[in-house]
Structure 1
Amino acid sequence: MSVQEEVLEEVLTETKEKKQNEIVVFNDDVNTFDHVIEMLMDACEHDMLQAEQCTLLIHYKGKCAVKTGDFEDLQPRCTKLLEAGISAEIQ
């Protein structure tokens, strides 16, 4: 086994062991596309295209995981979305 393979194996093992949380945003009949896009760009640091794509998924699928990461990073982001009137939760 090469050094590169060993390092890759260690990284994959560490990734599996660390539980990642997600912010899931749910569709509603209140918020506009523009508002949701703007808030995803602000709270989740999405670029315009990513925010638009997530907003379309939220609209057509009913929900979308918009950000993945550690709970400590996601909590203030989710709070910002909730304060903006967007239905979101960390799963």
Structure 2
Amino acid sequence: MTTLPNPEVEILEEVVEDIASIKLWELVVYNDDINTFDHVINTLIDVCKHTPEQAEQCTFIIHYKGKCGVKSGDFEELAPMRNEICRRHISAEIMLK
């Protein structure tokens, strides 16, 4: 007896690969009581290539709301940014949008 390929499984694998490449990921930075506004602003400018105004707005959102999505993109693009932000002792993670 010959086993036929399951087209549903093949399509699902294609969809999962497509989803991974879509910019459904968001880099989220969290508030803390340690880092200064200037440190967070400068980090967002350096790491995420924000304008000074954009970095300042995100920093105020982080401060008052507890977190802010500072960048959207694919996971591979955001991972090095998250690592560098965390290296600077700022809490961040990558989440699905």
TM normalised by structure 2 equals: 0.75
* Aligned residue in 1 for 2:5: none
Distance across 1 between alignment mates of 2:81 and 2:28 = 11
Q: Distance in 1 between matches of 2:81 and 2:53?
A: 19
Contact 2:28 2:92 in 1 (8 A): yes
| Residue segments in structure 2 that go unaligned for 5+ positions in a row | 1-17
Task: Write out per-residue CA displacement over residues 20-78 of structure 1, whole angstroms, 9 at most, x where no aligned residue.
Answer: 10010000000000000000001100000000000000000000000000000000000
The letter for the 2-side match of 1:89 is: E
Matches of 1:79 and 1:59, distance apart in 2 = 21
Q: How many residues align?
A: 76
Aligned position for 2:49: 45
> What amino acid maps onto 1:76 in structure 2?
P
Aligned residue for 1:58? 62
Radius of gyration: which is bigger? 2
> Post-superposition, which runs of at least 4 consecutive aligned residues in structure 1 deviate over 6 A?
none
Distance 1:44 1:19 in 2: 16
TM-score, structure 1 as length reference: 0.80
- What is the root-mean-square deviation of aligned Cα atoms in Å? 1.5
Extract unaligned runs of 5+ from structure 1: 1-13
Q: Which amino acid aligns with 2:90?
A: I
Shift of the alpha carbon at 1:18? Answer: 2.3
1:78 aligns with 2:82: yes
